[in-house]
Chain A
Amino acid sequence: MTQLAARRARPGPARVPALAVLQYHLVGYRRTWRGGALSSFLLPTLTVLGFGVGVGAYIDQGVDGVSYLEWIVGGLLASTALQVAIAESTWPVYSSLQWTKIYFAQHAAPLRVADIVAGQLAFVLLRVLTSAAVFLLVTGVLGALRSPWAVLALPVAALLGLAVAAPTFAYAATASSDSWLALLFRFAVIPMTLFAGVFFPVESLPVGLRWLAYATPLWHAVDLSRAATLGTAPVWSVTGHLLYLAAWAAGGWLLAHRALRRRLVV
C-alpha cells in the first residue's frame, strides 16, 4: 500500500471507455456462457428437425418453390437474433439500474453515460452475432441453406439486434418495475415472431395487419435474411430495409442514452 501511494500514476479515463465496459460484460459472461451455448446449438438443430422433418412433411408443395425448411430458416435466424437481443437488453439493463446498481458504479468512475450505453449494446451485439453464427453453422451443416449468400444473414442479424436492443434498453431503463419487461415479451416479441413473416408470408395477412407487420423491424430483417439464405432477391429493396433498421437503431440509441441519463444524472 505504501508503494501504491508512492507510485502515483496519472489517472485518466480509459482510452476507449466503452471497450472497458464491454470487457466487464464479457467477464460476467465467461461465468455463464456454457448454459447459453448449449441452447444456441440446440435451437437450430431442433428447428431443422421440427420444420424439415415434422411440419415440412405436411407442406408438400413448399413455399415459393423451395422446401418449407429452406424457406423458414432465414426467418428463424432473424427471430433468434431478435430473442437474444431483447433478452440481453431487458433484465440485464433493468438489474444494472435497480438491483446491482452497476451502472451507478460505472458512472462514478470516469465513464460517461454514452460509454455505458455503448458498452452494454456492444455486448448485446456480440451475443446476437455469436448466436446467429452458430445458427447459421448448424443449419448450414444440416443442409438447410441454399446459397453461400447466407453469410450476409449475419450482418443483417447484427443490425436487427441493434435495431431492437437499443429501444429495448431505453424501455428497460425507464421501467419502474420488472413486470413491464414481461409485458414487452407478451405484447411485442411474441406477436412479432408470429406475424412478421417468420412462419408464413406476410402477404397472407389481411391488409391492416400486413402493414403492422411491415412496421416491425423484424419483418425487414426476415425479408433480407431469407433472401440471403435462399440466394434470391428480397421482396422489398435492400437499401430500404437497411435504412429502416438503421433508423430504429439510431432512434433507439438516442432514446437509450436519454433514458439512462435521466436515471444516472439526478
Chain B
Amino acid sequence: MTTAQPLIQARGLVKRFSGFTAVNAIDVAVRAGEAFGFLGPNGAGKSSTMRMIGCVSPPSGGELRILGMDPVRDGPAIRARLGVCPQLDTLDPELTVRENLITYARYFGIPRRVARLRAAELLDFVQLSERADSKVEPLSGGMKRRLTIARALVNEPEIVLLDEPTTGLDPQARHLVWERLFQLKQQGVTLVLTTHYMDEAEQLCDRLVVMDGGRIVAEGSPRVLIEQHSTREVVELRFAGESQEPFVSKLEQLGERVEVLPDRILLYVPDGDAAVVEVTALGLHPLNVLVRRSGLEDVFLHLTGRTLID
C-alpha cells in the first residue's frame, strides 16, 4: 500500500435508517499514517460513519473502500486489519482484564502463546499491568477505555478506529488516553477518531472534517480550518443584564465578526488586546473580558451557528 493511495476512501457515502438520513453523501480520504478526525455534535452522524468504516454497517449509498477492499464483501478480511474502540464499552465485565485481551486475540487467529505475550505488552502500554488479573467490572471508566484501546491493538491493526475515546472521562483520565494515542500516532499507526471535544481534535488530529447533520461542512488541518474560518483571536465579553443583544450593534464595527451566545458575546479580531482597548473607548463596560486564540469551537460556531456541546 503506497502512501498515495488512501487507506479509507468514501465518495458520496450515505447511511439511512428507515428513511432518516444519518450520513448524507460524505467524501472522505484517510491516508496511511495520519490521524484523522470527525468533529461534530451529538447526532452529526459520526458513529454511523465509523460503523460503516468498521464494516459492521452496510452503506445505504455511495462508495466506500477500506484498505482497497469492499466492506460489504470483504468485511472479515478488512476487520482483521482494523482495531475498533466503540463509543460504548463492549468488554466482558466477568472476565479479568487479561482474559478480555486473550480471548479477543483468539478471534484474529492469534495463537494463545503469542496472545499472552501481546496482552502483557499492551497492558504495560496502557498502564494496566497491575490490574491484569482483576475483573473488569470494578474498573474505573478511564481504565475500561484504556483496556478497550489495548484490545483494539491486539491484532496490530493498520487502522485504529476510536469513537469518542474520551467522552465521559475526567480530565486526568483523558490526558492519559491522549498520551497513549499520541504515542501510537508517533509509531505510524493510522488513527481515525470522532470527538465532540475541540481540544481533543486540535491535539490529536493532523486533519479533520467538521460534521453536522450528516454532512461535512469543512475539512482541513486544525490550523488551516481556524485560519480559514476564524480570526486569530477572540474576545469573550459578558455584559450585565438579561440580554447581550443590545451591545452587538456597537461591537460589530470593532471586529470581523460577532457571535452572540446566551451568556456572552464573542468578538472575532486579529488582535484581542487592541480590541479590548477599543471596547473601553466606546464607553462599554463588560463584567467579564477574556482574550483567547481562536479554536475549532469557533470554526464550528461560524459554520453552523451553534456551539459544539449544548
Q: Is the CB of A100 within 8 A of B79?
A: no
A249 to chain B, nearest CB (A): 25
Q: Is the CB of B84 within 8 A of A4?
A: no
Q: Which residues of B contact A9 (CB under 8 A)?
A: 110, 114, 156
Q: Is the CB of A108 within 8 A of B155?
A: no
Q: Is the CB of B79 within 8 A of A108?
A: yes
Q: Is the CB of B107 within 8 A of A1?
A: no
Contacts A1-B125, A5-B187 given; indicate if A28 touches B107 (C-beta within 8 A).
Answer: no
CA distance A31 to B56 in the complex (A): 31
User: CB < 8 Å: which of A8, A20, A28, A110 contacts B95?
Assistant: A28
CB 8 Å contact bits of B72-108 with A (1 = contact, 0 = none) = 0001110111101010111111110001001110111
Q: Is the CB of A100 within 8 A of B106?
A: no
Q: Is the CB of B77 within 8 A of A13?
A: yes
CA distance A264 to B94 in the complex (A): 22
Is B133 an interface residue when CB atoms closer than 8 A count as contact?
no
Most chain A beta carbons < 10 A, residue from B107, B110, B114: B107
Q: Is the CB of A4 within 8 A of B118?
A: yes
Q: Which of A9-23 contact B (CB under 8 A)?
A: 9, 11-15, 17, 20-21, 23
A264 to chain B, nearest CB (A): 7
Q: Is the CB of B86 within 8 A of A108?
A: yes
Contacts A11-B157, A20-B107, A101-B90 given; indicate if A27 touches B99 (C-beta within 8 A).
Answer: yes
Is A2 an interface residue when CB atoms closer than 8 A count as contact?
yes
Contacts A5-B187, A11-B155, A110-B77 given; indicate if A104 touches B86 (C-beta within 8 A).
Answer: yes
Q: Which of B20-79 contact A (CB under 8 A)?
A: 54, 56-58, 75-77, 79
Q: Is the CB of A105 within 8 A of B104?
A: yes
CA distance A102 to B88 in the complex (A): 11
Is B192 an interface residue when CB atoms closer than 8 A count as contact?
no
Is A107 an interface residue when CB atoms closer than 8 A count as contact?
yes
Q: Is the CB of A109 within 8 A of B94?
A: no
Contacts A11-B108, A107-B56, A266-B57 given; indicate if A28 touches B80 (C-beta within 8 A).
Answer: no
CB 8 Å contact bits of B109-133 with A (1 = contact, 0 = none) = 1100010001001101100000000
* Interface residues on chain B, number (Cβ under 8 Å): 46
Is B13 an interface residue when CB atoms closer than 8 A count as contact?
no
Q: Is the CB of A100 within 8 A of B91?
A: yes
CA distance A265 to B125 in the complex (A): 32
Q: Which residues of A contact B140 (CB under 8 A)?
A: none
User: CB < 8 Å: which of A2, A24, A104, A266 contacts B106?
Assistant: A24
Is B189 an interface residue when CB atoms closer than 8 A count as contact?
yes
Q: Which residue on B lies nearest to A21, using beta carbons?
A: B107
Q: Is the CB of A11 within 8 A of B81?
A: yes
Q: Which residues of A contact B103 (CB under 8 A)?
A: 20, 23-24, 27
A40 to chain B, nearest CB (A): 20
Q: Which residues of A contact B109 (CB under 8 A)?
A: 11-15, 20
Is B188 an interface residue when CB atoms closer than 8 A count as contact?
yes
A176 to chain B, nearest CB (A): 16
Is B183 an interface residue when CB atoms closer than 8 A count as contact?
yes
Is A258 an interface residue when CB atoms closer than 8 A count as contact?
no
A42 to chain B, nearest CB (A): 24
A63 to chain B, nearest CB (A): 44
CB 8 Å contact bits of A97-122 with B (1 = contact, 0 = none) = 00011101111111110000000000
Q: Is the CB of B80 within 8 A of A110?
A: yes
CA distance A11 to B81 in the complex (A): 6
CA distance A266 to B51 in the complex (A): 9
Q: Which residue on B lies nearest to A112, using beta carbons?
A: B76
Contacts A13-B76, A108-B84, A266-B57 given; indicate if A23 touches B156 (C-beta within 8 A).
Answer: no
Q: Is the CB of B92 within 8 A of A28?
A: yes
Q: Is the CB of A106 within 8 A of B107?
A: yes
Q: Is the CB of A27 within 8 A of B108?
A: no
Contacts A11-B108, A111-B107 given; indicate if A102 touches B92 (C-beta within 8 A).
Answer: yes
Q: Is the CB of A100 within 8 A of B155?
A: no
Contacts A4-B121, A24-B103, A27-B103 given; indicate if A11 touches B76 (C-beta within 8 A).
Answer: no
B78 to chain A, nearest CB (A): 8
B149 to chain A, nearest CB (A): 12
CB 8 Å contact bits of A56-67 with B (1 = contact, 0 = none) = 000000000000
CA distance A160 to B247 in the complex (A): 78
Which residues of A does B touch, CB under 8 Å? 1-5, 7-9, 11-15, 17, 20-21, 23-24, 27-28, 31, 100-102, 104-112, 264-266
Question: Could you give 15 example pairs across A and B, Cβ below 8 Å?
Answer: A5-B188, A12-B109, A13-B80, A13-B109, A14-B107, A23-B106, A24-B106, A27-B99, A28-B95, A31-B95, A101-B89, A105-B86, A108-B86, A110-B75, A266-B17
Which residues of B does A touch, CB under 8 Å? 17, 54, 56-58, 75-77, 79-82, 84, 86, 88-95, 99, 102-104, 106-110, 114, 118, 121-122, 124-125, 151, 153, 155-157, 183, 187-189
Question: Which 10 pairs from chain A and chain B are nearest by CB?
Answer: A105-B90, A14-B109, A109-B107, A20-B106, A110-B76, A110-B80, A24-B103, A101-B90, A108-B84, A11-B155
Given contacts A4-B122, A9-B156, 16 further A-B contacts (CB under 8 A): A1-B124, A3-B121, A11-B108, A11-B155, A13-B76, A13-B80, A13-B107, A17-B107, A20-B109, A24-B106, A27-B99, A102-B90, A105-B104, A110-B76, A110-B80, A111-B107
